[in-house]
Amino acid sequence: QNVNPHILSYDVKQNILFEGRKNLLSLTSVEWLALVGKSHPETALWAEVKALPQEMYLYEGEDEKFLFVKDLSKKEGEQLSIRKDSLNMDSLKARKEGVTILSCRLVQYGGAWWQDGMLVVSDLQEKVKEEIEQRIAAREGIKKTFDEFMKASGGKQFVFCKSEEEVQDFLSQKLGYKEKEGIELPKMDATHGLVLMVSPHTGIHVQMQLCECISSPDNTFYDAEAAKKQAAMFILNPNVIPYDLSCALQDADTLPDACLNSALGEEHGRETMKRNARFFTDYFFEKCREKDC
Residue range 149-154: average pLDDT? 96
CB atoms within 10 A of CB 211: 21
CB atoms within 10 A of CB 224: 12
For residue 13, which of 90, 114, 105 has the smallest C-alpha distance?
105
Percent of the chain with pLDDT over 70: 97
φ, ψ for residue 114, nearest 5 deg: -125, 140
Is pLDDT larger for residue 13 or for residue 82? Answer: 82
CATH 2.40.50.140 occupies which residues in the chain?
Answer: 5-124
Predicted local distance difference test score (pLDDT) of residue 80: 95
Residue range 120-140: average pLDDT? 90
**How sure is the predictor about 273, in pLDDT bands with cuts at 50, 70 and 90?**
very high
CB atoms within 10 A of CB 251: 12
Fold observed for domain 5-124: OB fold (Dihydrolipoamide Acetyltransferase, E2P) (2.40.50)
Inform me whether the pLDDT recorded for 181 exceeds 60: no
Helix, strand and coil in the chain, % to nearest 5: 45, 20, 35
* Distances 73 to 99, 147, 292 between C-alpha atoms, Å: 16, 22, 17
**How sure is the predictor about 45, in pLDDT bands with cuts at 50, 70 and 90?**
confident
- Lowest mean pLDDT segment, chosen from 97-101, 175-179, 288-292: 175-179
Residue range 214-224: average pLDDT? 97
**How sure is the predictor about 19, in pLDDT bands with cuts at 50, 70 and 90?**
confident
Residue range 181-193: average pLDDT? 80
Residue range 58-76: average pLDDT? 93
* Distances 125 to 21, 73, 98, 99, 176 between C-alpha atoms, Å: 35, 16, 11, 8, 35
Beta-bridge mates of residue 83:
66
Rounded to whole angstroms, the Cα distance separating 223 from 227 reads 6
Predicted local distance difference test score (pLDDT) of residue 280: 96
DSSP state, residue 52: E
Across the chain, what does the average pLDDT equal?
90
Residues with Cβ < 8 Å from 145, sequence gap 6 or more?
Answer: 198, 203, 204
Inform me whether the pLDDT recorded for 105 exceeds 80: yes
**How sure is the predictor about 55, in pLDDT bands with cuts at 50, 70 and 90?**
very high
Instruction: Please answer whether residues 125 and 88 qualify as being in contact, where contact means their C-beta atoms are separated by less than 8 angstroms.
Output: no
Residue range 123-146: average pLDDT? 90
Cα 206 off chain centre by: 18
Residue range 243-264: average pLDDT? 96
Torsion over CA: 270, 272, 277, 283 (sign)? negative
Inform me whether the pLDDT recorded for 271 exceeds 80: yes
